[in-house]
Structures are given as C-alpha cells and as structure tokens.
Structure 1
Amino acid sequence: MKQLGLKAFTDTYLTSFGLIIFFVFFVCVLFWVYRKGSKSHYGAMEQMPLMDEEFSNARSK
C-alpha cells in the first residue's frame, strides 16, 4: 500500500522544498521565542493565572 502511494508521488523537489520551508519556519520560531527582551514578556504571561483580583472582578459581573 505504501509503495503504491509513493509510486504516484514523483515530485521529489516539492518534498525537499517543503522540508526547507518548514525547517526555516521552525528556526524562525525558535529565534522569536528566545529573542532578547522576551523573558520579561513570558514572565508576565506565566504570572497571569495567579493574578486572582482581575479574574474575580470579571466573574462577579
């Protein structure tokens, strides 16, 4: 079954192109996550669930 499906797929350059695109996207996401100054942003995001007063006001309305 696998060989039958791969026999019809002859555009190997598209596979290589797709691999390169997804690898570049992955590297860009890594650079975005570990960029300079992002630590303070992620520090604020990790504290959001613990900020109870903002969420308790929203629940009481």
Structure 2
Amino acid sequence: MKQEGLKYFTDLHLTSLGLIIFFVFFVCVLVWVFRKNSKYFYNEMQNMPLKDQEFTDARQ
C-alpha cells in the first residue's frame, strides 16, 4: 500500500521544497502568535465574550 502511494512522488526536490516551505510558514506563524506585543490583544480577545459593549480595536 505504501509503495503504491509513494510511486508518484518521483520528484524528490519538489517534495523537499514543499516540506521546507510549509515548515518555514509554520515557524513564521509561531513567531507571529508569540510576538512580544501581542499579549494585550489576546487578553482583550479572551475577555470579549464577557463584555456587553461592542468590541473596539484593542490597540487603541
């Protein structure tokens, strides 16, 4: 079964390039989520369902 699925992946360089692209994207998303100044924004988002007023931009 594994051999049937892998026989179509003949371009090893394209498969490796795809892995590298997705890994770099994953690392960039992690850096974006855990950046230094995002804690206030996430705290505002966390408390948003508990507020009665409409949401305003957390950066103001």
Instruction: Please indicate, yes or no, whether the TM-score normalized by the shorter chain is above 0.5.
Output: yes
Structure 2 CA distance, aligned partners of 1:32 and 1:44?
A: 17
- Give the paired residue count: 54
What is the one-letter code of the residue matched to 1:20?
Answer: I
Q: Which runs of 5+ in 1 are unaligned?
A: 56-61
SS in 2 for 1:8: coil
Q: Which runs of 5+ in 2 are unaligned?
A: 55-60
State the 1:3 CA deviation.
1.2
- Sequence identity percentage: 67
Query: CA RMSD, aligned part only?
Result: 1.4
Which portions of structure 1, spanning 4 or more consecutive aligned residues, are displaced by more than 6 angstroms? none
SS in 1 for 2:7: helix
The higher-RCO structure (CA 8 Å, 6+ apart) is: 2
